Structure 1
């Protein structure tokens, strides 16, 4: 029996796996070693994880993947926090490594995340061998929910979209230009706010101006990221909410660039269960 954790700054999902089956899933608060101390993480493990898994008996290993887990010294903080209460082998990896393992397994490929943010890598079946830095939603993150939301509100506020669409947008979200500016420039987590607006695009994807906005952002993702790996013979795999809901359009854009899409998934959990069950 082992644990697979899908960690984020807001919440962490812990899958309890026996054999190759998930038998339960436990949620704790977000765990991110980039922002939290060893004491904070240890307290979360002690108070909100350990009591809930005792009934399942012996845990033999923990595989923790998440945001903030791309730096060896931070990963060590997390590993020590877990082993203090669960004295078993603990492997810590980034959310990008989770995507690569979940999507590609032990085969080479290009693994991409398209969710609130975006990221990508070239994976050789064991390790990430190349990564184009996503740069975040201000400088990069092409094709992500945050960037799609940013492009949407930019076009709304500069009157680049049909009047009827503008009215529908402001009515649906109850926003004003002043509130949008406040949320983007003064409140925390503007990327999350912007990403929360992106479902509007999906509902109006048949509108030519919206279709062009989304398509061009996906083209930018392929041109500025995926193309740099130079591996047209490798399948491109995608994970995340944006990848899942826009998969038909993404297939068209991938074809334009000469790529074929492989696996598309919303979450890495099932793929990670398969990956670790055969090790």
Structure 2
């Protein structure tokens, strides 16, 4: 049996390809080895559905956020190896998943806009260039954490429309103290900040919420896409919930910037499943 994972900071999509060809699926919590140790990841995985499959999985193909550096890949491999002691484990970056799922065998730019953000230049076979992924404090332009952080900053400084501020208070019962406690003292602050994006998306008809996304996408283009050679001649493809549920704003910001957007999908897991079915 083959286990496939597409993991971001907020959630992980798991697919199991059974020996008879059946496919089962599950969505669980996210993992990022930059913010979690192998022990912490293993504990979360043992609480997930994976524990019921530990003796049946032969191969694991894990694509994850934060899995570009060898030492970070090892953290994830150790976590999976603690559960699946006899499986052959392959770890790759989430950018590889995005490129394979959206570009296929064609050249293009593959981008991730989920809780965080990232991008790569893909030649149809390999990733040939990337931009620095500076994380939720120093980067992640266009991602959910980045948008949510701007929203919470405006909330604290009362620099948003009164109607939006009052709706946020009614929905989340937030105050400055509560926000700062979650961001500075509680675990997983990036998930917390990104959690406000559903509210922002629901209210994107309001010019303030619309501009949060529009300007954040423009920031992403400036830090990422504009840095790739011939970016205007290459299709830009996007994976992630922020891109998918705000595709209208993303396409508008891209058109205004001279960027040709091709595919926007929420998750690459379906494409990865088809790819790895060939290995059975």
**TM-score grouping bracket, smaller chain normalisation:** 0.7 to 0.9
The residue that corresponds to 2:254 in the other structure is 254
**Post-superposition offset of 1:68:** 3.6
User: Which of 1 and 2 has greater Rg?
Assistant: 1
Counterparts of 1:31 and 1:143 in 2: how far apart (Å)? 20
The residue that corresponds to 2:178 in the other structure is 179
Give the alignment of 1:26-65 within 5 angstroms: 26=26, 35-37=36-38, 41=42, 49=50, 51-52=52-53, 61-65=59-63
Counterparts of 2:198 and 2:49 in 1: how far apart (Å)? 32
**CA RMSD across the alignment:** 3.2
Question: Which stretch of the first structure deviates more once superposed, 112-121 or 82-91?
Answer: 82-91
Gaps (5+ residues) in structure 2? Answer: none
Give the alignment of 1:229-244 within 5 angstroms: 229-230=228-229, 231-244=231-244
Counterparts of 1:134 and 1:102 in 2: how far apart (Å)? 20
Counterparts of 2:133 and 2:7 in 1: how far apart (Å)? 19
Change (3 A) 1:93 1:255: same
Gaps (5+ residues) in structure 1? Answer: none
- Summarize deviations over 1:22-77 as a string: whole Å, max 9, x none: 611256776655543489749958x96364376xx7x6633111134222244346
Q: Provide the TM-score with structure 2 as the length reference.
A: 0.84
The residue that corresponds to 1:207 in the other structure is 206
Counterparts of 2:134 and 2:40 in 1: how far apart (Å)? 30
Q: Do 1:105 and 1:275's aligned partners in 2 also have CA atoms closer than 8 Å?
A: no
Q: Do 1:5 and 1:64's aligned partners in 2 also have CA atoms closer than 8 Å?
A: yes
Change (3 A) 1:119 1:163: same
Total equivalences in the alignment: 276
**Post-superposition offset of 1:274:** 2.8
Q: Provide the TM-score with structure 1 as the length reference.
A: 0.84
**Post-superposition offset of 1:100:** 1.5
Counterparts of 2:72 and 2:13 in 1: how far apart (Å)? 19
**Post-superposition offset of 1:3:** 2.3
